[in-house]
Amino acid sequence: MEKNWYNQSPEETLKNLSTTKESGLTEDEAKKRLQEYGENALEEEKKKSFGEKLKEQFLDPMIIILIVASIISIFIGEALDAGIIIAIVIVNAILSIRQEGKAEEAIAALQKMSSPKAKVIRDGEHMEVDSNTIVPGDIIVLETGDIVPADLRLIESSNLKIDESSLTGESVSVEKFYDKVYDGKMEIGDRENLAYSSTIVTYGRGEGVVVETGHNTEIGKIATSIATVSDEQTPLQKKLAKLSKTLGILVIVICAIVMVVGLIYKHDPLDMFMTAISLAVAAVPEGLPAIVTIVLSIGMGKMAEKNAIVKKLLAVETLGTTTVICSDKTGTLTQNEMTVTKVFTDGNVYEVSGTGYLP
C-alpha cells in the first residue's frame, strides 16, 4: 500500500483504500480489516511476573552480600543476626516491588485515558466506536476537543487546527487543509493534509480517512523505537554496585590478614576462622539497602503528590540530581500557560503573584 499519503489527493486515497466519503466502510468489511490489520492500539510492554521482579531484587550486589552474611551467621551460631539480615532483605524487596507496582497501575490508568471513543461513518451512518476497533479505510469525523484516533488523510476541513506538540514538540496549533497535495518527501510537521494519532483538535472541524493504525502510526513508530532501547543502570545503581564490590574485596582481604596473623601467632585455626567470619559479617552494612529503599519510596510518594509518576524506584535519585532540563519550546514539558510576573507602567515596576491561569 502507498505510504506517502500526503502525495495523494483525497479522491486517490479513498480509491486506494476502497472506501467512500459518504458511506465509509460496511460493518462486515470493518471486521475483515480488523482481522487483517489488528487492533488500533500500541502493544503493552510485557509485564514482569512477581517471580521475575523478586529475582531482580535478589540479584543486586548489596543484597547478595547480605544473603551471604546471613548464611555465614547461621553457620557460626548467630541465628538472631541471620534472622535480622533476612528480614531486612525481605522488607527491602517488598517495598521496592510494591512501589513499582503502584507506578505500573498509574501508567496503565493513563493508557486507558488515552484510548478514547472515535466518531466514524460506517454503512452511511454516524456512530461512536472504541478507537481500538478503527481500521484503514474508516471515515473519521473530527470536532474541537477530539483526540485524533489514528493517522488520517484529511478529506474535508473547516478552519481545522490541531495541537501536534505531543508528536513534533510544536506548541502552536497547526492549521490543516484537506485540499493540499504535496510533491516529493515532506517532514512530519509540514504535512498539512494529514492528522496524526494522539494529537488534539483545538479548533474547527473536519473529516479524514484512516491510513495507518496501531504501530504503523507516527506515534506508534516512536513507541516501538522506545521499546527497543535497553535499560541502563541508574547512577545510584552504579554507585551501590561499586560500593558492594569494594566492600566485598576489603572484607575478604581483611579477613585473610586476620586469619594469617592469627596463624603466625599460633592461635587455634578454627578460632581464627570464626573470628574472621564474624568480622566479615560485622563489616556488612545490613541497614543500607532498607534505608535506601525507604528514602526512595518517600521521594516517589512526594513526586506522586505533584502528579509525577516514577516507574522505577531507583530512578527517583536520578531525577533528584537533575539540575537542568533542556527543552526547545514552551508547552512541550510545561502546561503551556504563559504567566506575567512583572508589569512596568507609568515608570513603576509591579510584581504579579499567582501562576498559570490562577489569579
- Residues assigned a catalytic role: 328
- Cell numbers of 190, please? 509540514
Coil vs helix vs strand at 209: strand
Q: What region, left, alpha or beta, does residue 264 occupy, with left being phi > 0 and alpha being psi -120 to 50 degrees? A: alpha
Q: 280: burial class by Cβ within 10 Å (0-12, 13-18, 19+)? A: buried
- Cell numbers of 49, please? 511476573
Q: What is the 3-state secondary structure (H, E, C) of 252-269?
A: HHHHHHHHHHHHHCCCCH
Short-list 191, 188, 172, 171, CA closest to 180: 191
CA separation for the pair 132, 36 (Å, rounded) = 14
CA separation for the pair 169, 105 (Å, rounded) = 27
Element of type H or E holding 107: helix 79-113
CA separation for the pair 102, 231 (Å, rounded) = 20
CA separation for the pair 15, 37 (Å, rounded) = 18
How many CB atoms within 10 Å of residue 234? 18
Sign, CA torsion 37/38/44/50 = negative
